[in-house]
Structure 1
Amino acid sequence: MHNVLRTVNGLDNINTFDLSNAVLIKRNNNYYINITAYKNKLNTETNQILSFDLGIKNQLTLSSGLQLKYSIEKTKKEKRIQRILSKKVKGSNNYRKLKVKLNKEHDKTKNRRTDTRNKIVHYLTSNYNIIITQNDSISGWQRIFGKRIESTDIGGIIEALKHKASTLILLYRFIPTTKECSKCHNKYDIKLNERIYKCSKCGLISDRDYNSTLNDIYYGTKTHKFKKLKVPVEYREFKPDRDNASTLKGFNVSPYVSASFVSETGSLNVLT
């Protein structure tokens, strides 16, 4: 019997885990080992609350004031192979060989997107144990925005949080958090191309996505699920992270993700 696998990369990352099983997988003429391992869950019950807003321009805006932006497009190599494949005779040897190469490139792009999504989810669940967001219809977004949604896999973030977050509170998707002022809760029909929310009643000026996250906090803390948690009063009043420099310095989720604060991206006074 030939030795198919001479070395296995990545095993050094699971030294502290309890191994359950391993399955050898062949995909696109490559071999992989799918390992299931378990690790004792650390006690992270800090009652730290976070909400986030998903978007097209900025993929995530957090109630801490942090905005995450990323997009992982198909590589030039993948597009080139796809163009060449479209000119080949379907079922021919050259077609099959190119199809294998294309599938490998597809997998690489998919893995980069999945890895980025998982690292974002890990950041959220490691620092906050109560996470609030709206249950947006990402599939509906994809029908409108197409590749801009596909290249970010933002829909997978909520799905992953359902399994990994200590407490995930999903709000009804039709609550008008974008239209509502987070300070006085007055509402007005803000247009899609307006990036700054300006309240005509109380004078609040805010990044529209950040304003939406604060409304998520407002409505999330009124839900029955939140009240059952019996969060101490001192944790219920949300305060944004004011130490922007140290937060950005310590933020290193993925090379594909750029991070900034709403005070740097259009908001005038929400963090002051």
Structure 2
Amino acid sequence: GNFRVLGLHQIPRGVEIAGAVLVRKPSGYYLHVTCYLAKGDSPEPIAGQPRRGYLEAVGLDFGIGSKLTLSNGIKIDFEVHETPRLKRLQRKLARAKRGSKRRGKIRFLLRREYEKLNNRRKDAENKVLAFLKLYGKVVFQDDLLASWARLFGRQVHSSRIGGLKLRLRNSLKAPIPVGRFEPTTKECYACGKRHELPLSQRIITCSCGWECDRDVNAALVILRKGLGLSPDQALGLDRPEVTPLEKEAAARILGSNPSIRVSFLQ
């Protein structure tokens, strides 16, 4: 029979629907739609969405304190923790008798709570990705996140840095990855000299006169390397600054999610 489907406005105009799968989740039924688009074509923009790629190239530095630092000085922190309700349900499940109706009910409630948690994390990830799509070129370092997880554990998991990096490669129009072994956090953006910096030192000061926030310097080095510029070629360039367009876009796209915090380095 027929049934009502909400959210069809999310399907881009001008694409061909190739198939659909009905999926059952703890919160209800959902329709996963697959669309066909010829390679090289772009779907018509959905009304109200900003145009992709109208800003300049940007470099990204991923971290733990500030999850994402842009070469223009924008810092984005996003982390969605487990809720107190989820932890209570986990404790109740551990105490419930196996095979009882109460245990089955708790497991159902726990699945719903996990679904809500994953939805919040995906929403934060989607918002950050939507903001980055405004840049014509995005340069980032292809770090090995397994080593991060061993050092920082839950902080890496709750921020979904790995999922965001994977989607950067697959979703952006012009992603430019930089080799994971490039010493971007130790190198001076202006002259290329390498410094040994402890994690507690947040400002890099070089003998050439360059002084900058450590994360912003790393993002600038990543941008320079991704664009194939030497320190001498980058020396004459003005240091990127946050434009009014970027501030407006950050407030509009990222400000709608309470799990995302944005700051602008002056």
| TM-score range normalised by the length of the shorter chain | 0.7 to 0.9
The question of 1:191 aligning with 2:178 is answered: no
Deviates more, 1:212-221 or 1:245-254: 245-254
| Alignment partner of 1:262 out of 258, 262, 265 | 265
**CA spacing shift, 1:17–1:74, aligned 2, 3 Å:** farther
Q: Does the 8 A contact of 2:58 with 2:137 survive in 1?
A: yes
Task: Note the residue ranges of structure 1 that are not aligned, 5 or more in a row.
Answer: 224-232, 264-272
| Alignment partner of 1:9 out of 1, 6, 11 | 6
**CA spacing shift, 1:237–1:9, aligned 2, 3 Å:** farther
Q: CA deviation at 1:16?
A: 2.9
The question of 1:248 aligning with 2:247 is answered: yes
Task: Note the residue ranges of structure 2 that are not aligned, 5 or more in a row.
Answer: 44-50
| Alignment partner of 1:203 out of 196, 205, 209 | 209
Q: Which residue of 2 aligns with 1:68?
A: 76
The CA distance in 2 between the partners of 1:146 and 1:13, in whole Å, is 35
The CA distance in 2 between the partners of 1:48 and 1:172, in whole Å, is 22
The question of 1:124 aligning with 2:132 is answered: yes
> What TM-score do you get using the length of structure 1 for normalisation?
0.81
Q: Does the 8 A contact of 1:20 with 1:38 survive in 2?
A: yes
The CA distance in 1 between the partners of 2:127 and 2:143, in whole Å, is 21
SS in 1 for 2:159: coil
Aligned length: 246
Q: Does the 8 A contact of 1:17 with 1:38 survive in 2?
A: no
Q: Does the 8 A contact of 2:26 with 2:115 survive in 1?
A: no
The question of 1:143 aligning with 2:143 is answered: no
The CA distance in 2 between the partners of 1:65 and 1:29, in whole Å, is 40
> What TM-score do you get using the length of structure 2 for normalisation?
0.82
| Alignment partner of 2:120 out of 104, 112, 115 | 112
The CA distance in 2 between the partners of 1:246 and 1:222, in whole Å, is 27
The CA distance in 2 between the partners of 1:68 and 1:29, in whole Å, is 30
The CA distance in 2 between the partners of 1:120 and 1:158, in whole Å, is 11
**CA spacing shift, 1:93–1:52, aligned 2, 3 Å:** same
Give the percent of matched residue pairs that are identical in Structure 1 and Structure 2: 31
| Alignment partner of 2:160 out of 146, 153, 160 | 153
> Structure 1, residues 154-191: CA drift from partner, whole Å, max 9, x if none?
11111001111122221121211111111111111100
Q: Which residue of 2 aligns with 1:21?
A: 19
Q: CA deviation at 1:139?
A: 2.3
SS in 2 for 1:250: helix
The CA distance in 2 between the partners of 1:207 and 1:16, in whole Å, is 43
The CA distance in 2 between the partners of 1:185 and 1:239, in whole Å, is 16
Q: CA deviation at 1:240?
A: 1.1
